[in-house]
Amino acid sequence: MADVRFLPSLADVPPPAWDALHDGRNPFVAHAFLQGLEAHGCLREDWGWSPHHATLWDEERLVAAVPGYLKDNSHGEFVFDHAWAHAYAQHGLDYYPKWLGGVPYSPVTGPRLLARDDPARQALLTAIQQETRRLGLSSAHVNFPTSGEDAAFPASWLPRIDVQYHWRNPGHWRDFDGFLAEFDHKHRKNIRQERAKVLRTGATFRTVHGDEASDAELEAMFGFYLQTFRDYGNSPALTLDFLRHLARSMPRQVVMFFAEHEGRIIAGALCLRGGDTLYGRYWGAASHLPGLHFETCYYQGIDYCLREGLTVFEPGAQGEHKLARGFLPTLVHSRHWIAHPDFSAALSRWCAEEAVAVRRYAHTLTTHTPFKHRA
C-alpha cells in the first residue's frame, strides 16, 4: 500500500527522485527551483508560506507529489480569493490557514500533480482532502495546472478560470518581420515606432544565460527587481542568493535581457526557459528611455523565441497592453476543494457565474487583436 507523507521541506526528497516525476520541460517544478526557494530565504513563515508538500511513496520510491504550502494569507498566489476569505469572516469562520498546491510567486501554467499514472494522481487528491480535514483547514487549492491535469480533478474540486496573454508562434514565423507581417497596418507601425525610439537613444541589448552571467550582472538584475518592487510598494520575496543559485543549478534555463546605454546596464528582464516556452518573470530599469519597457520585456523575448525555436512566450499575469503587441488571451485554470459543504455549494455557483464572465471577456478580447486575420 502506498504511503502518504506531507513533508516540511524538499530537502527531504532526493532531487533525482522528484525530477523523475516530470518531463523537465517546465523549470518551475524542478527540484532546483522549488528547493532553492526554501534554501535561500524566499519562503518565510511570517509571509504566509510554510512548505507542506504532498508525496506518495511505494516503500522508499517516490511515485507522486504536489509542491504544497500551508498559507495564512493569499500573498504571491495570483489566483485571487480575497472575496472568499471575506465571506468566511462575515460568517465568523476562519478561511486561513489553507493548503495551496502550486509554485510560489509564479503565475505560470505547468504540471502540478506530479505522478507516474492516473491512480497515483487520484490518490494524491484524496490524501490532500484528508490532510485538509485532519488539520482543520478551510480548503485546498491547486493553482495553474495544465489543461490535461485540470480535466483529471473530480467535480468536488471547484474549477476557476482566468485570462493571461501569451505569444504563440503558429509555426511559420522565422523572424520579427515575419511576425509583424501578420499585423494590421496601425499596430505594425506602432511597434516599429516603439522599437525605433529606443534604438535612437543609443541603447543596445544583450542576452545573457545563467552560465554566462557575471556576479556583477546578477547583482544588477537583482537590483532592478528590488527597484520595481519598491516602486510599487511591494515587499520583494526573492533573494540574490536565490538568483545566484538558479544561475548555477539551471544555467541554460535562466535567460536575462540587458539594456545598456552609455557604457552601463540600465535595465534588465529576468526569464526562465522551458522545453518550448519562455517565461517572463521580473524586470526593472534605472532609466526611463522611450520604449525601454516594451523592448526589454516583450520584443527581446519574442526575438529570442524566434531565434531559439521556442513556440510560446508567457510574459506574466495581467496586462491588456500586451494584446496590442501580439500576446493573445489564453485561459488558465485553478481548482479548489472547500471543506465546508454549504460554502462549497455557494462557491460552486459563484465559480460558474465567474466563468461565464471570464469567457465573455476573453471572447471580447479576441475581437481586438492586432492581427489582420483575427481569432
pLDDT in tens, 304-345: 999 999 999 999 988 899 999 999 999 999 999 999 999 999
Q: Give the pLDDT of residue 235.
A: 86
> Which residue ranges does the chain devote to CATH 3.40.630.30?
3-160+332-366, 170-310
Please tell me the least confidently modeled range out of 13-27, 41-55, 290-304: 41-55
Q: Give the pLDDT of residue 44.
A: 85
CATH number of 170-310: 3.40.630.30
List pLDDT tens digits, range 58-81.
999 999 999 999 999 999 999 999
Is residue 174's pLDDT more than 70?
yes
Average pLDDT, rounded, for the chain:
96
Query: Is residue 47 very low, low, confident or very high in pLDDT (cuts 50, 70, 90)?
Result: confident
Q: Give the pLDDT of residue 54.
A: 98
List pLDDT tens digits, range 23-32.
999 999 999 9
Q: Which pTM value belongs to this model?
A: 0.96
Query: Is residue 57 very low, low, confident or very high in pLDDT (cuts 50, 70, 90)?
Result: very high
Question: Percentage of residues in the chain with pLDDT exceeding 70?
Answer: 99
Is residue 120's pLDDT more than 50?
yes
3-state DSSP of the chain: CCEEEEECCHHHCCHHHHHCCCCCCCHHHCHHHHHHHHHCCCCCHHHCCEECEEEEEECCEEEEEECEEEECCCCCCCCCCHHHHHHHHHCCCCCCCEEEECCCCCCCCCCCCEECCHHHHHHHHHHHHHHHHHCCCCEEEEECCCHHHHCCCCCCCEEEEEEEEEEECCCCCCCHHHHHCCECHHHHHHHHHHHHHHHHCCCEEEEEEHHHCCHHHHHHHHHHHHHHHHHCCCCCCCCHHHHHHHHHHCCCCEEEEEEEECCEEEEEEEEEECCCEEEEEEEEECCCCCCHHHHHHHHHHHHHHHHHCCCEEECCCCCHHHHHHCCEEEEEEEEEEECCHHHHHHHHHHHHHHHHHHHHHHHHHHCCCCECCCC
Q: Give the pLDDT of residue 263.
A: 93
Please tell me the least confidently modeled range out of 95-109, 174-188, 223-237: 223-237
Is residue 1's pLDDT more than 90?
no
Under CATH, what is the fold of the domain 3-160+332-366?
Aminopeptidase (3.40.630)
